[in-house]
């Protein structure tokens, strides 16, 4: 699809709708697993350290796969096929988890699923970006991220509900209900592959066989490199929101008890996802009207505010659910902005023939920085205090915001 035809086409087209449905089903598949995996490890007799190691390795695999998948797609031009393979690997990983008796198959299953996630993400985003006009990218991506997060909301809720249902079924051991849920989660994973195959059209099939990986990275625009630097600095403070759940659990434990506090903290995380769903499309519309980069700057400010408010909650020993809900509300807003607009800003800075590899580079920088952030926040939390850890996160997020403002000035 050429630029002129994209300008005249409506933004809500078959490809955008299909990609949104596919992402919702994909999230439904693996987010159902995310909420039950800690309990599954527990009934298998594996320590908490095993979960941390498995998830850390899987995240690293996804992060570094993103850049190479973008390069391969730009070089070969077979983006849709690679995305289908990526979505197909998620249910394959779920099967490995369902069959696991110990950590080796659990690790293999998570690596397979997260390799697929890293493979498909940049290519799917590039397809969506090129299926709409530059003037409507914000709302198209906002819709896509909202649909994606619907799976993130319903998946954990369904996982908990299915686990309760499966406990009433005859099973050989305590792991039986968890295996039932894992087997059932294969269904939305398979439907995601079918949805992408039948609904999504790749608007560009232009291979570039002469493309070289290292020379392509060196030849990226200077302004895009500055943008990546800002994203990376912000990402060093952008901790995993599982730590936000842990923070709420600790703050509420004294007044509620640990079990009730954990339940409420889980619901606060669902609330965060609901806010993200509700905000994603309006954020995209706003960005299309006033500019994507200025709105992303505002989102980064909200991210720093989230970390600062969490540090303040520990400083003042906040145990009020409404006040903590306000923190999770701000978190949902900033994630909506971040996930909807980081890729659209990328598309404004680079040429279309290098779009997939640039989105892959963005994903790799984000993933690497967040891995460092979550580890650093956890270490500082243990070694010093949660006030110090979240305060440090806020500092890096503010620094990243200022760096992004600098990138904005150099691109205007």
Global pTM reads 0.77
252: CB partners within 8 A, 6+ apart: 260, 261, 264, 265, 319, 321, 324
Q: What average pLDDT score do residues 203-213 get?
A: 62
| Better pLDDT: 320 or 163 | 320
255, two tokens: 């007044």
* CA distance from start to end of the chain: 28
Mean pLDDT, the chain, as a whole number? Answer: 84
Phi, psi of 23 (to 5 degrees): -65, -40
Concatenate the DSSP letters of all residues of 210-279 into one string: T--HHHHHHTS-HHHHHHHHHHHHHHHH---THHHHHHHHHHHHHHH-HHHHHHHHHHHHHHHHHHHHHH
Report how far residue 339's alpha carbon sits from residue 29's, in angstroms, rounded to the nearest whole number.
Answer: 20
Rounded to an integer, what distance in angstroms lies between the CA atom of residue 398 and that of residue 236? 11
List Cα–Cα distances, 307 to 230, 240, 316, 328, in angstroms.
17, 11, 14, 10
Q: Taking a C-beta distance cutoff of 8 angstroms, is the pair 376, 196 a contact?
A: no
Residue 34 has phi, psi (to 5 degrees) of -55, -40
| Over residues 160-181, mean pLDDT | 76
Q: Which pLDDT belongs to residue 265? A: 80
Query: Where does residue 164 rank: exposed (0-12), middle (13-18), buried (19+ CB within 10 A)?
Result: exposed
d(CA 66, CA 128): 16
d(CA 195, CA 119): 17
How confident is the model at residue 324, as a pLDDT?
A: 97
Q: Which of 60-64, 234-238, 252-256, 376-380 has the lowest mean pLDDT?
A: 60-64
Separation between Cα atoms, residue 328 and residue 72, nearest integer Å: 38
pLDDT digits (tens, 9 = 90+) for 252-290: 989 988 767 877 887 888 899 889 989 999 999 999 999
For 53-77, how does the pLDDT look when each residue is reduced to its tens digit (9 = 90+)? Answer: 676 677 778 877 877 777 777 666 6
Q: What is the pLDDT of residue 49?
A: 56
List, in sequence order, the alpha helices (H) in 291-354. Answer: 292-315, 321-349
Closest C-alpha among 207, 188, 242 to residue 32 = 188
Confidence band (pLDDT; 50, 70, 90) for 149?
A: confident
Question: Please, what are the domains in the chain?
Answer: 13-201 (1.20.1250.20), 220-412 (1.20.1250.20)
pLDDT exceeds 80 at position 353: no
b/e per residue 346-358 (b: at least 16 CB within 10 A): bbbbbeeebbbbb
């Amino acid at each position: 699809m050429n630029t002129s035809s994209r300008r005249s086409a409506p933004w809500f087209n078959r490809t955008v709708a299909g990609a949104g449905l596919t992402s919702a089903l994909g999230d439904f598949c693996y987010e159902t697993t995310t909420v039950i995996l800690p309990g599954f490890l527990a009934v298998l007799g594996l320590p908490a350290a095993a979960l941390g190691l498995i998830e850390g390795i899987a995240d690293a695999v996804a992060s570094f796969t993103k850049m190479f998948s973008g390069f391969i797609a730009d070089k070969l031009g077979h983006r849709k096929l690679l995305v289908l393979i990526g979505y197909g690997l998620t249910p394959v990983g779920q099967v490995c988890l369902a069959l696991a008796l110990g950590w080796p198959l659990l690790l293999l299953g998570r690596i397979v699923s997260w390799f697929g996630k890293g493979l498909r993400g940049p290519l799917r985003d590039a397809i969506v970006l090129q299926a709409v006009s530059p003037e409507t990218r914000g709302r198209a991506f906002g819709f896509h991220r909202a649909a994606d997060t619907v799976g993130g909301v319903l998946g954990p809720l369904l996982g908990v509900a299915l686990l309760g249902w499966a406990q009433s079924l005859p099973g050989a051991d305590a792991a039986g209900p968890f295996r039932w849920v894992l087997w059932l989660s294969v269904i939305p994973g398979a439907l995601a592959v079918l949805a992408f195959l039948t609904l999504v059209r790749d608007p560009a099939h232009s291979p570039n066989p002469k493309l070289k990986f290292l020379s392509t990275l060196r030849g990226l625009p200077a302004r895009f490199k500055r943008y990546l630097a800002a994203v990376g600095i912000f990402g060093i403070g952008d901790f995993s929101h599982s730590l936000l759940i842990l923070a709420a659990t600790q703050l509420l434990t004294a007044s509620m008890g640990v079990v009730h506090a954990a339940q409420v903290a889980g619901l606060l995380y669902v609330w965060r996802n609901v806010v993200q769903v509700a905000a994603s499309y309006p954020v995209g519309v706003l960005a299309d009207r006033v500019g994507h980069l200025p709105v992303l700057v505002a989102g980064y400010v909200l991210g720093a505010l989230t970390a600062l408010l969490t540090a303040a909650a520990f400083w003042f020993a906040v145990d009020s659910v409404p006040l903590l809900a306000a923190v999770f509300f701000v978190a949902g807003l900033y994630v909506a902005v971040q996930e909807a607009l980081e890729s659209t800003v990328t598309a404004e800075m680079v040429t279309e023939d290098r779009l997939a590899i640039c989105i892959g580079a963005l994903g790799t920088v984000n993933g690497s920085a967040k891995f460092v952030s979550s580890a650093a926040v956890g270490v500082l939390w243990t070694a010093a205090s949660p006030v110090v850890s979240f305060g440090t996160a806020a500092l890096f997020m503010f620094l990243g915001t200022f760096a992004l403002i600098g990138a904005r000035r150099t691109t205007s």
